[in-house]
Amino acid sequence: MIENFFEVHHECSGSLARTGVIHLAHGDVQTPVFMPVGTKGTVKAVSKDDLDEIGFEIILANTYHMYLRPGADIVNEAGGLHGFTKWNKNFLTDSGGFQVFSLSNLRKIRSGGIEFRSDIDGSKHFFTPENVVQTQALLNSDIQMQLDVCTGFGVDRAEAERALKITSDWALRAINEWKIQREKGYKGILFPIVQGNFFDDLRKESAEFVSALDTPGLAIGGLSVGEPADVFAEKLRHTVQFVTRSKPRYVMGIGTPEYILEAVADGIDMFDCVQPTRIARHGLYFSRHGMVSIKQKRFERDFGPLDPECNCKVCRTYSRAYLRHIFREQEILSSMLASYHNLYFLHNMMLEIRNAINNDRFEEYRKSFLEKFHSGNI
């Protein structure tokens, strides 16, 4: 175990919510933390300088996509992800495991690894727990994920058991390779992943197994894969009972205020999602009073700010009428401004969440935030 990797600052009375700090090779990360997703080495429509201006300390890149193009060797030659992108704070890289789930028609899962065809040119490749660790070490990620098998909502128990067995075996293989890479000078850390689909006993088994592994942190997987929101909340609350609180805990793929607040209440420290920038490209903005679809005609002559309670440069500078105009004209600037605002909104929400936890008023904050967010008074 790596000592002093994670420090808990304050545990909130009345919930499992907590604040802390993760010490990484490219700077400290305050938790709870939302991490923007830069799948191919860039957060869509947002520059690294804007990410820095907002205040982010860690972003994601996708191992599958960076491996295919431009290639881990090129990224490594440029000085890893940090040298290649010039983002000098932290990177978390996923393993490609989600692509095993989302691109199921292009892959075959074997006990040794995953055989898949590129979604770019159809070329064949083989991912193993070991070479995925090696690839992420070449990328020089600060936190890397083990290769796992994620199953969707509604699969039968036999399939869930098979996926869990493979994921658990692969965790051990990944950890062995990660330790070899550490001995060679790699400074990044590895998170194994809890699976088990939506079967309570399998999730308990996996959570206890992963918690006992010799890694500095862990991820809770197999959620936000098509299940209803109440099922997500139920299975997350069930799982966290069996996951150690001594390590940072990461739930993958959540990026709405409702899901983030649920995760924080359950003691989750890290989360990510493409959703804030994806919806931005469709003209959807977060606001204190709910989602704003800027394409609506009622904004045609509305010269007020997108969200009067937001202090980001988009809300300080541009009107709803102008934002509607550039969206309707399909201007590139529309995606840039909407993505900036949505990421600023979530980052600011995280600052407020940490402050509420430190003052033992998280549940009060959660209730008041959601009441206003669901009010529809836009």
Task: Return the active site residues.
Answer: 94, 272
Of 247, 244, 163, 242, the C-alpha closest to 201 is 242
Among 298, 295, 344, CA closest to 323: 295
Give the H or E element holding residue 65. Answer: helix 63-68
Residue 196 CB contacts under 8 Å (≥ 6 apart), including other chains: 160, 164, 202, 203, 204, 205, 206, 207, 222, 239
Quick count: other Cβ atoms within 10 Å of Cβ 208?
A: 14
Please name the residue that has the structure tokens 């003052």.
Answer: 359
Give DSSP secondary structure letters for 134-167.
HHHHHHT-SEEE-------TT--HHHHHHHHHHH
Helix or strand run (H / E) with residue 6: strand 6-11
Q: How far is CA 20 from the centre of its chain?
A: 17
Q: Are strands 90-94 and 143-145 parallel, antiparallel or unpaired?
A: parallel
The conformation of residue 216, written as its DSSP 8-state character, comes to S
∠ Cα 237 202 101 (to 5°): 90
CA 293 distance to own-chain centroid: 24
Other Cβ atoms within 10 Å of 364 Cβ, number: 12
Give residue 322's Cα distance to chain centre: 31
CA nearest to 306, candidates 259, 339, 273, 278: 339
CB atoms within 10 A of CB 148: 29
